[in-house]
Structure 1
Amino acid sequence: MNMALAGLVAGMALGFAGYFGGFGAFVLVAALGAVGFVVGRLLDGDLQAGEFFHPRSSDRDDRRR
C-alpha cells in the first residue's frame, strides 16, 4: 500500500469518526492511528525504541547560558 492510499484511508476513517461520533471520536481515532503508526514502524525496524528516550543533542545546555 503506497502512502497516498494509506493517507486516503486514514482521512476517510477520521471523517467517518468525526461525522458519526463527534469530536471525541475523531480525536480517539486520530490518537489510536498515531499509536498504530508508531508501533508499525517499530515492528518494521524503521524506528528504534531508544530514539524516544535519549536527548536530541548536547547543544541544549549551551542555550541556557
Structure 2
Amino acid sequence: MRPLFSGIVNCLLGALFTYFAIQQVQVGGWGFFSYLLLLIATLDLGSGIRLIFLHFKLKNSVKK
C-alpha cells in the first residue's frame, strides 16, 4: 500500500476512535474502555501522521 493512502486511513481511524471515546465518556464516564479507545486513537493518529510525512519525504528524495 502507498504511504499516503495508509496515512490517511490511519488518521481517519484515529478520528473515529476519538469519536467513540468521546461517546463512551459521555455515556459511562472514564473507564477502562474509554482509555483503551484513546490509546488506540493516539497510536493510529501518530502512525498516520508519520506515514504522511514519509510520503512527502520520499517524494522529495525522488525529485532530487
Q: Which has the higher contact order (CA 8 A, sep 6+)?
A: 2
Structure number with greater Rg is 1
Q: Same fold (TM over 0.5)?
A: no
Q: TM-score, normalised by structure 2?
A: 0.44
TM-score (norm 1): 0.43
